[in-house]
Amino acid sequence: TGNTNVDNCVINVCRVLEVAQQTSIPVYRGAYDHILFIENRTQDPFHGSDGFGDIFEPTDLPDMTPYHPEEHGVTAMARIIKEHPGEISLLVVGSLTNVALAMRMYPEIIELIVSLTVMGGNFLGIGNITPSAEFNAFSDPEAVDIVLRGLKRPITIVPWEVCIAPRNTITWDWRRNVLGERQHPILTLLNPVEDVIFNEYEFSAIWECADCIATVSLLAPDEIIKSFEIIPAAIELHGQQTRGQFVVDRRLDRRDREPNAKIITEINTQNYKKALYWTIFDDVKVSLDEYLRP
């Protein structure tokens, strides 16, 4: 959705659904802001002010029929979970604000979801929005705290360190000149968006598509995830230098602290590449985990 405001997120999701010819998937707008008001909170228009590299005119809107303004995203999430108990796996590639609000407003849903996978946080103290914090976690640490404390099973965390070198070795050159050369409507949409990012922030040879890694880790965990830790984790809420940093407890004597996080520490890069191809092979009729199996 592009590190942007919620209205732009709605437009961007509808634009992707239009290109993917999946406009039957409903879209709901979530919270406008985070749980606490933090003055002078860091803003990061990394993907342009509209989250899509500012390549579209404000009047150039996609098909907005998937958007349902009559129902808030938090209530829609809770309703869908309650309508399908034991069937819903949540994937969060932004801040955890809406999930935290849903857990506070409808605590019964905690027992009804299958799993929660989150792109966010860190496990080695490496940050991107601050020296010590990853953007999504830093955007709403209080929401992360609510979710880490409230969920009754370990949350799968795709931390920032897995998305950068040396754990991620996929280069911008491969993204632009190998994957990007394929003919597919999704790439026709995303290539110019990512070109803007590359040209603006040409400081890393690695293509750090964190949300992609989180998505394929959910869809095919056995084939994508090489190693992980199941461990107690918390988030720093008050540190002057470390607000938003994850704190993992690796002490041998952890007393009664139950593990609440499954933190991915390494991925299968070759299978990750294959998974990206899978997304643009329209003639492939099998699930991702089937596609990746030897």
Query: Where exactly are the structural domains of the chain?
Result: 73-292
Lowest average pLDDT, out of 28-37, 97-106, 121-130, 220-229, goes to: 28-37
**Which pLDDT score, from 0 to 100, does residue 44 have?**
60
User: What span, in angstroms and rounded, lies between the C-alpha atoms of 286 and 264?
Assistant: 25
User: Rg of the chain's alpha carbons, rounded to an integer?
Assistant: 19
The token pair at 112 is 């009804």
pLDDT, position 26: 98
Query: Phi and psi for 43 in degrees, rounded to 5?
Result: -105, 145
- CA 8, CA 58: separation in Å to the nearest integer? 10
Phi and psi (nearest 5°) for 257? -75, 115
pLDDT at residue 43 is higher than 70: no
pLDDT over 70, % of the chain:
95
CATH class of the structural domain 73-292: alpha beta
Q: Provide φ and ψ at 170, rounded to 5°.
A: -80, 125
Tens digits of residue pLDDT in 165-219 = 999 999 999 999 999 999 999 999 999 988 888 777 666 799 999 999 999 999 9
| Cβ(264)–Cβ(217) below 8 Å | yes
Task: Give the model's confidence band at 89: pLDDT under 50 very low, under 70 low, under 90 confident, else very high.
Answer: very high
The pTM is what? 0.93
Q: Do residues 122 and 133 touch, judged by C-beta distance below 8 A?
A: yes
Helix, strand, coil percentages, rounded to 5, for the chain: 40, 15, 50
pLDDT at 42 over 60: no
Pairing relationship of beta strands 89-92 and 115-119 according to DSSP bridges = parallel
In 3D space, the residue among 2, 263, 252 whose CA is nearest the CA of residue 125 turns out to be 263
Virtual CA dihedral for 180, 182, 184, 185, nearest 10 degrees? 30
With contact defined as beta carbons under 8 Å apart, do 226 and 137 qualify?
Answer: no
Distance of CA 156 to the CA centre of its chain: 11
- Structure confidence by residue, pLDDT tens digits, 143-157: 999 999 999 889 999
